[in-house]
Chain A
Amino acid sequence: MNEILTKAPQGHIAVRNFSLSYDSIEGPVEAVTDTQIHVKPGEFVSIVGPSGCGKSTLLNAVAGFLKPTTGIVTVDGEKVNGPSAERGMVFQQYSLFPWKTVRENVEFGLKMRGMPRSQRERAARTLLGLAGLEAFEKHYPDKLSGGMKQRVGIVRALATGPKVLLLDEPFGALDAQTRVIMQQILTNMWQRLKISVLFVTHDIDEAIFLSDRVYCMTARPGSIKAEIPIPLERPRQQSMMMSSEFLALRRGLMSLIREESIKAMGGEISDMGLQGLNIELHGASLADVI
């Protein structure tokens, strides 16, 4: 904490002793347990993990939408108490305001801050220009492709100059080709802005390609299973995905995730009667079979 205060950096995320349970009829459902993560100022960090392991839960707690059951979330030493413009967020569902044009969407955060119209129009135009979207400033989101919508979403989240950017599977709904292009755009933008990013995905390639560091989560209740630094050089290019370094990282992460995915699916597999086939259902052994 002292170290943070003396250096006064921007956008240091710290999640400590974190757990979060949802209330349900059968009692509390523990979604995330005993989790510590941090993102250093200007760092790009991803969270990967099997479906339903609590990635969104963790990210939503950082955004301030959910209160931790135990533990604390801080940004630059200040406790997170609710959503704020300090923490920009991009959602998997595009979440652009359909009744606002592209430019009005981008302007929204500046308008909330009370910036006069002409000034925020100029700012929005500049930002859209950087993202190659100036030709679409007067379009309504309806008319845009998924990739463009998500680019607008990212630009909108960045417009207010947040300390950190949170992304929850932002490219999850895009086709494979668009996804690759969006990853390149995001890494280029980040390279320029050097903003702290916490990025949730279940795509391992995506996580490695974009990140400085990847947290791998266990099956529910989620906690951090491993923390993997990605020493690939910057700026990142798609061609690096063929390098042996990349592939080695990929292999490592892949086997970590697969173990957890099988654990997460264990119940389903036995429900389907596969147990009768004498497949051993405990963790690594099944991983070997599959």
Chain B
Amino acid sequence: MPASTTPASPPSFGTLVLRWYRINRDGLRATAIGIVSLLAFLLVWHLLTTYRVVFFVRFTNVPSPLAVYASFTKAIHDPKFLLHIALSCRRIFIGFSLAAIVGVPLGLIMGRFKLVHEIIFPVAEVLRPIPAIAWVPMAIMLWPTNEQSIVYITFLGSFFPILVNTLHGMSLVDPVLVRAAQCLGARERSIFREVYFPASLPHIFTGLTVGMGVAWVSLIAAEMISGQYGIGYFTWEAYSLVQYADIALGMIAIGVLGLGSSMLIRGAGQLVMPWRLK
């Protein structure tokens, strides 16, 4: 079929650019509009704060974008600020990794073996609705150090979304694929590795993405309540010290970190599931 097209001379550079543009038109358009809309947001923020608008909501003390930028340039040279960020990232990394290391295999095993499901599911269902933040006092009692209790809260926050989504993925595995594997000589262990696990991967990654979001929510809350370091603590401390620009800086840092970590997970998902690429 491709053989039937007549062989053409290599296309000129101009043609290539034009072709590239035609293929990526939608993406370019979205990027352009995205940039404009972000700039508009900054402009509105700037106007609201420089004119100190009071209209139910009070912008009197809200820092302007320029003030936040100034405190940002200062902060990136401040080792203490970088330490706050590094510690938060470490807590996320440990808490989230533990949640994934426990949650994914547990979900896979619960999905495969009824008895394990019947034993663990009721407990999980009772604990699941409790927000991680509500665990703070209990966590402080349970763990010897503050650091451990914060990591524990982060773990809890991401654990349940990961577990529930993995379970969901397992329940949707097409039984015909299991049969096909059996007819090809696959035994229990291979079926688990070659069918159940890859079939559940898309849902596992949904769980990881949601779990990562909840991990940040839980971490920031825990840091605000009981931390001595961390970006959540930094933000709360800025309020106590009347460093208004730092409040916004902390918030933006949290947003960027959250976005970055969920992009990491999405990237990992694309690496692990090449068959899902368009």
Contacts and interface: CB of A to CB of B under 8 A. Distances in A.
Interface stretch (A4-12, A80-88, A174-182): A80-88
Contact of A97 (B179, B182, B183, B198): B198
A176 to B, nearest CB: 21
Given A97-B181, A97-B194, A108-B181, 5 more contacts: A87-B183, A91-B176, A97-B198, A98-B275, A100-B275
A214 interface: no
Interface stretch (B16-24, B117-125, B184-192, B218-226): B184-192
A142 B278 CA distance: 10
Interface residues of B, number: 21
A93 B176 contact: yes
A99 B181 CA distance: 13
Contacts of A157: 183-184
Interface of B: 174, 176-177, 179-187, 190, 194-195, 198-199, 201, 273-275
A142 B194 CA distance: 18
A269 B181 CA distance: 41
A199 B182 CA distance: 19
B3 to A, nearest CB: 12
Interface string A71-109: 000000000001111011101010111111100000011
A160 B199 CA distance: 23
A108 B184 CA distance: 7
Interface of chain A, main secondary structure: loop
5 contacts: A65-B179, A91-B176, A91-B179, A112-B184, A156-B184
B153 to A, nearest CB: 35
Given A91-B176, A108-B194, A99 B201 contact: yes
Contact of A112 (B176, B177, B190): B190
Contacts of B195: 97
A89 B186 CA distance: 13
Contacts of A83: 179, 182-183
Interface of A: 63, 65, 82-85, 87-89, 91, 93, 95-101, 108-109, 112-113, 140, 142, 156-157, 160
A95 B176 contact: yes
B275 A142 contact: yes
Nearest to A86: B185
B183 A63 contact: yes
Given A84-B185, A108-B194, A113-B185, A99 B199 contact: yes
A91 B273 CA distance: 25
Contact of B185 (A65, A142, A160): A160
A261 to B, nearest CB: 26
A109 B275 contact: no
A87 B180 CA distance: 11
B177 A97 contact: yes
Nearest to A113: B185
Contacts of B187: 112
Contacts of B179: 63, 65, 83, 89, 91, 95
Given A91-B176, A95-B177, A140 B275 contact: yes
Nearest to A99: B198
B161 to A, nearest CB: 23
Contacts of B181: 97, 108, 112
- The 4 A-B pairs of least Cβ separation, nearest first, read A85-B185, A109-B184, A83-B182, A99-B198
A89 B179 CA distance: 9
B273 A89 contact: no
Given A97-B198, A99-B201, A89 B190 contact: no
Looking at B182, B198, B273, which has the most chain A CB atoms within 10 Å of its CB?
A: B182
A85 B184 contact: yes
A100 to B, nearest CB: 8
A160 B184 contact: yes
A91 B183 CA distance: 11
Contacts of A156: 184
A164 to B, nearest CB: 11
B185 A112 contact: yes
Contacts of B186: 108, 112
A99 B185 contact: no
Nearest to B275: A140
A156 B180 CA distance: 10
Nearest to B186: A112
Contacts of A85: 183-185
A88 B199 CA distance: 22
B202 to A, nearest CB: 10
A88 B201 CA distance: 27
B197 to A, nearest CB: 9
Given A85-B183, A109-B185, A160-B185, A99 B176 contact: no
B199 A89 contact: no
Contacts of B273: 99
A123 to B, nearest CB: 14
